[in-house]
Amino acid sequence: MVSSIEPEELNVAGTSHMGPKLLKACLKYVRAISNSKVNQINAVIQEINENVTYETSIIR
């Protein structure tokens, strides 16, 4: 993946939509993979799982 923006440049705190949050997490994940940062990889996966679980519980 090639991106001209860093994940920290995306302000998704005020959005209720899942897409921008997942895009930011994806960028963080790709960067962690690229840098072989296992702790960061696991943190991003946990963040995604928590967000998806939270969103799913709201929909129900």
pLDDT tens string 8-59: 999 999 988 889 999 999 999 999 999 999 999 999 999 888 877 766 666 5
pLDDT at res. 58: 61
Domain range annotation of the chain: 15-59
Give the residue ranges of DSSP H helices in 1-60.
18-34, 38-59
Report CA Rg, the chain. 12
User: Cα angle vertex 26, ends 5, 10, to 5°?
Assistant: 40
Is pTM, for the whole model, over 0.85? no
Whether 60 shows a pLDDT value over 60: the answer reads no
